[in-house]
A = this chain, B = another copy of it.
Amino acid sequence: MAGSTWGTLLTMTTWGESHGKGLGVVVDGCPAGLALSEEEIQKYLDRRKPGGSRFATKRQEGDKVEILSGVFKGMTTGTPVSMLILNTDHRSHDYDEIKNLYRPGHADYTFDAKYGFRDYRGGGRSSGRETIGRVAAGAVAAKLLESLGIRVAAYTKSIGYIEIDAERFNLEERFRNRLCMPDAEAAAQAEKYLDQLMACQDSAGGVAECIIDGLPAGIGEPVFEKLDARLAHAMMSVGAVKGVEIGDGFQAAAATGSANNDSFAKASDGTIIKESNHAGGILGGISDGSRVVVRVAFKPTPSISAVQKTVNCQGEQVEAVIKGRHDPIIVPRAVVVVEAMAAFTAADILLQSMSSRLDRIQSFFGVRSQ
């Protein structure tokens, strides 16, 4: 595929640049009969918006979504759901000074190397604004999953060296602080840390974590379309992501088999469960019925106000001073992007999994088994 489409049965095709007319997404393959409104999509987009936080860009964007197709009388029709978000506050002149520079940590140089020239206004297609379409599409997928009893939630796990404490974990807290951390104390510490960095014209990285509850066992295709492989692809496709882990992740690499294996047991209701979840809910690339756990490492915001060494398009050594309006930390606003990508990917692979067993297909089509 050409790069802007994600998914097999449920697909999203995103488009748009930071400072163009707008951004959007076409969601195709959404089953018919799902109640869907612009308000529901908007809630997700609002979580991504800069808002009033001092830890986010000062750019003011309404980011109002409009559903252009695929919904009739409040229900999805099964045909493509096209969603449009117009850009309003695009101050392109901010970028005139840097249009000939290759900003360190940005995709300016690689876009030029690939395409010969680029839309230099605000990163163009490589801007964080590209994720708007993902979030709108993820909102649709999350609604679909909810209707099947599956819940996806992402939050900030760490900022710089400050990590949430498992003892203080409270999922609802993530909506109460500006940093999306489900631990108020860690959030307070992280705010201080960010203030320090901003004072030094610097930025921080961090880790987002996403959990999926209620996913039945048996989802994921062996070999190349494993659930974890698809999730890794989805997460690493988000800008600024440099690492992805499932369950214990890199910790598992330092563990022993006896410590890392999760024992199976019988639950009181007769179902098969695991007594621990080092695997993060996935065995052999297929969901095992436990909570799916994914962690995503984001690098620090590359746009910093400090003077940096770089070259210009002519290859001459220059100094870069990045003005614009930038977040000192990407993670809090990226949390909903991570949630969106997880929801979309899980929903897609869930639909795919319906054709794995002949007996269930026969029953679906009302045929008596052989």
Contact = CB atoms under 8 A, between A and B. Distances in A.
A43 interface: no
Contacts of A261: 104-105, 300, 302, 304, 308
Interface in A201-239: 202-207, 216-226, 228-237, 239
Given A204-B256, A232-B233, A224 B26 contact: no
A44 interface: no
B244 A115 contact: no
Given A105-B257, A265-B317, A111 B80 contact: no
B107 A284 contact: yes
A54 interface: no
A219 B364 CA distance: 14
Copies of this chain, complex-wide, total: 4
Interface stretch (A57-65, A142-150, A175-183): A142-150
Interface in A284-342: 284-289, 297-304, 306, 308-311, 315-317
A195 interface: no
B117 A32 contact: yes
Nearest to A266: B315
A242 B250 contact: yes
Nearest to A20: B69
Interface stretch (A165-173, A184-192, A349-357): A349-357
Contact of A116 (B32, B223, B230, B297): B32
B222 A226 contact: no
Given A68-B21, A260-B300, A300-B260, A246 B253 contact: no
Interface in A88-137: 102, 104-107, 109-111, 113-119, 124-126, 130
A223 B29 CA distance: 12
B32 A356 contact: yes
26 contacts: A2-B9, A2-B28, A3-B224, A4-B79, A6-B224, A9-B352, A13-B26, A14-B80, A15-B79, A15-B82, A17-B77, A32-B357, A79-B124, A104-B264, A105-B279, A109-B288, A114-B217, A114-B356, A126-B284, A224-B237, A229-B236, A233-B236, A242-B247, A243-B245, A265-B310, A351-B354
Which 8 residue pairs across A and B have the least CB separation, nearest first? A107-B284, A2-B29, A3-B221, A233-B233, A203-B257, A110-B286, A32-B115, A15-B80
Given A104-B261, A110-B288, A114-B218, 15 more contacts: A2-B9, A5-B5, A13-B26, A15-B81, A78-B356, A105-B262, A106-B283, A114-B219, A202-B256, A205-B254, A223-B237, A242-B279, A244-B244, A245-B250, A257-B301
